[in-house]
Amino acid sequence: MEPVVQFDQINKSYGKHVAVDNLNLSIEGGKFVTLLGPSGCGKSTSLRMLGGFETPTSGRILLSGKDVTRVPPNKRNVNIVFQDYALFPHMNVAKNIAFGLELKGLDNQRIHRRVSELLELVQLQDYAHRLPAELSGGQRQRVALMRALAPDPDVLLLDEPLSALDAKLRQQMQIELKAIQEKTGKTFMFVTHDQEEALTMSDTIVVMNKGRIEQMGDPDTLYGRPGSVFVANFIGETNLLRSTVLGVEGDTASLNWNGITITANQGGLTPKPGEHLYVVLRPESIHCSVTEPATGNRIKGKIRQRVFKGNHTSLSVDVGDGTLLNALVHPSDVAQLSGEDIWVGWKAETSTVIPDRQAHN
Amino acid sequence: MRGIFSDGPRTALTAFYWAFLLYLLLPLTLMMAMSFKDASFVAFPIGNWTLDWYGKVMQDKQFLDACLYSVMIAAASMVAATTLGTWIAMLIVAEGIRGRMIIFALACLPAVVPGMISAISLRIFISTIDMPTGTAAIILGHTVHAVPFVVVMALTRLRSMPGNLVDAARDLGADNVVAFFRVTLPYLGPALLGGMIFCVLLSIDDFVRTFFLGGYRPTLPMLIFAKVQGGMSPEINAMATIVLVVTAAVGLYAEYMTRRARTR
């Protein structure tokens, strides 16, 4: 199938500052794709280039196979949900949603039908005649979404639309957004710096850093098999163990970490003995116990800090020389870990190795 | 309890305020009172009260004609000044404009140049380009005077406008013209309404420019001026009172409308 969006060797610089650096990206239709990265990573610039509000310094942008690189925003079939919604303050909800339809030249009857249909989708039928100022944050968000969906764009662009909402509402809207995307079957391109949003909603996450794609994949892969230190740190909490390869046996690599021999999944790399790598060990993969575990990696340690987080407790465990490992402990297991001395253990296949980029540069 | 003298500055401030109000309102009140006096001299005491002077004014062909003329000039200069002022304000906030401070300073100049100087320079200008004095020249003069006020009001509103409203309109298929008329202009609405009414009031009120640029047909202030030269009479007081009441009502209404629109 032909991709809906294609960024073909896109570069964008402002003077000497390179915002987007040779971006190549194809997005399949009907997917929820998230551009994830810290501020200044080029994700918003990429979105604005697709929207037509920025012109790439070089490269081509294809939309449904057509080159739209220099087409103005009003002539391309994409719509944006802006960060602060940008609802027209002097138009009521129905008029806001109808705006794009009117400009497409639809007749009044069809506009009316489409607007009611969309309002129904987000249960705002009773608010059609309200002004944006008379709506709550979540309602404005829905109206902005429907206004952008109304003209039936090839791709819907969402520029951090949830960042203005409070935490509870944000979680609710994540689920709603995903549901709307599935119901309408539209391609959503979502930009955020919030890894939790990205993990919750996306079919595909594109992690960006310094204007480049760091890694692209589904949430499971990015979380379980991060391809770089940056991705491992950016998505979820993690323990990074800088280690030296001792040997590889099947899928499992054995490594030397601070004088301790540990094993980890080789993660598609083919590590050579003597090579320096990082082992990614997620806090929830670590099992804490009072007695020594029978199998897998195990290290004796001392609990330095306990942080109660409600549905779990976060432990900082000193495994010697002040090296700390973060571990998550389920509430039912906390009681038995009352003392300072514990064992931390994990199975080799729950940890993975990633290259130490710095070592190569 | 605090004595009057323990809070000196505050008492002084309050006293000043009332003194100022008195100074502001007393002449106006006197003028209005005299317009109801049943005698032809403007002086106390007022023996009998009457509405005759108002009747006389309303039948005064000269007065009615001057009113009409003033309103016509005000309307024309309002349309011209609002259009120009909005355009200049849009230019100043537009992306990639160099020297916006210079444009702004030039646009505001007519508001600070003394009326007399402005009037003389305009007079010299129109005679240089062989434009006759009269209606067109007056409208020109009033427009130049009113533009800065529209620019400032429109700019204030434009600067409070979320930058991506126009982007959103463009994104939904509007070209620049449609975006301007359907999004920017309605957003500017309250400020422009205020600006327009201000233009009208400035124009109706203007004497100096009109005096230098006018032809034989008098505007309202010119007519009143001519009449005053023939001696004060309660008829002039009645005229002035009508003008005062109407302009104050229009001004207050404008203020109310802009406030209401702004809180939305």
Q: By 3-state DSSP, what share of chain B in percent is helix, strand and coil, each rounded to 5?
A: 80, 0, 20
Domain boundary (A232, A256, A287) is at A232
Residues A169 and A311 occupy one common structural domain: no
Residue at token pair 């409600």:
A310
Residues A96 and A211 occupy one common structural domain: yes
Q: Give the gap in angstroms from C-alpha B75 to the nearest C-alpha of chain A.
A: 26
| Residues A29-60: b if buried by 16+ CB within 10 A, e if exposed | eebbbbbbbeeebbbbbbbbbbbbbbebeebe
CB < 8 Å to B168, chain A: 80, 82, 86-88
Is the CB of residue A10 less than 8 Å from the CB of residue A59? yes
Nearest to A27 by CA among A72, A65, A55: A65
Residues A209 and A298 occupy one common structural domain: no
Q: Is the pLDDT of residue B5 over 70?
A: no
Nearest to B166 by CA among B103, B99, B94: B94
Q: How many residues does chain B have?
A: 264
Question: What domain range includes position A190?
Answer: 5-232
Amino acid B261: pLDDT? 62
Looking at residue A166, which CATH number applies to its domain?
3.40.50.300
Amino acid A359: pLDDT? 39
Residues A228 and A244 occupy one common structural domain: no
Amino acid B262: pLDDT? 58
Domain count, chain B: 1
Q: How many residues does chain A have?
A: 361
Is the CB of residue A90 less than 8 Å from the CB of residue B189? yes
Q: Give the gap in angstroms from C-alpha B169 to the nearest C-alpha of chain A.
A: 8
Is the CB of residue A63 less than 8 Å from the CB of residue A4? yes
Residues A211 and A263 occupy one common structural domain: no
Closest residue to B264, CB basis, from A53, A80, A133: A133
Residues A184 and A245 occupy one common structural domain: no
Which ipTM score applies to this complex?
A: 0.77
Question: What domain range includes position B217?
Answer: 63-263
Residue at token pair 């509000």:
A53
Amino acid A59: pLDDT? 87
Q: How far is CA A254 from CA A274, A275, A348, A358, in A?
A: 11, 12, 9, 21
Q: Which residues of chain A register pLDDT less than 50?
A: 358-361
A186 backbone dihedrals φ, ψ, rounded to 5°:
-80, 160
Q: Residues near A287 by Cβ (< 8 Å), separated by ≥ 6?
A: A293, A327, A344, A345, A346
Q: Give the gap in angstroms from C-alpha A302 to the nearest C-alpha of chain B.
A: 54
Residues A264 and A223 occupy one common structural domain: no
Amino acid B231: pLDDT? 74
Residues A252 and A323 occupy one common structural domain: yes
A51 interfaces chain B, CB cutoff of 8 Å: yes
Nearest to A248 by CA among A225, A279, A223, A269: A269
**How far, in Å, CA of A43 to CA of A244, rounded?**
35
Closest residue to A73, CB basis, from B165, B170, B186: B170
Q: What are the tens digits of pLDDT across the range B246-261?
A: 888 888 887 787 777 6
